[in-house]
Amino acid sequence: MVESLARNEILRRRRDVSRVRRLGAKSGTRLLSLRCAPQTDSPTDNPGPSNLPPRRVAFLLPRAVGNAVARNRLKRRLREIYRRNKDLFPTGFDYLVQPTPAAGRLSFAELLEQVRLAARPKPEVRS
């Protein structure tokens, strides 16, 4: 497994972020919200080869986290957690990670646990 986080693995277009925010399934914890939506060019929609990376992510931090230094520190920690734990995030999806202002006070280990809890698969409801 490649551990680097390439530039094309980050959601950069506003319309992609808006799509995930609007259509994405939401999960999370008290301190972290996670939304995921299928990629528009995913292999399930288009059986041909896809030019998108297997998964993409965006980190949206509120200004209430703190000043720019605090927000960037939290974003770097989240990016590193994502980079090291890509296996928690299924392929073919785009993700939005949105921490609450209180998440800025968490240690790296506590933040990792919050991401793991938010990303765990939910049991499917059968009728």
- Which tens digits make up the pLDDT trace of 37-51? 998 764 444 455 556
Ordered domains of the chain (ranges, CATH)? 27-40+54-118 (3.30.230.10)
pLDDT, tens digit, for every residue of 60-110?
999 999 999 999 999 999 999 999 998 899 888 999 999 999 999 999 999
Compute and round to an integer the Cα radius of gyration of the chain.
Answer: 15
Alpha carbons 15 and 3: distance in angstroms, whole number: 27
Please, what is the Cα angle at 57 between 71 and 39, to 5 degrees? 155
Q: What is the pTM of this model?
A: 0.81
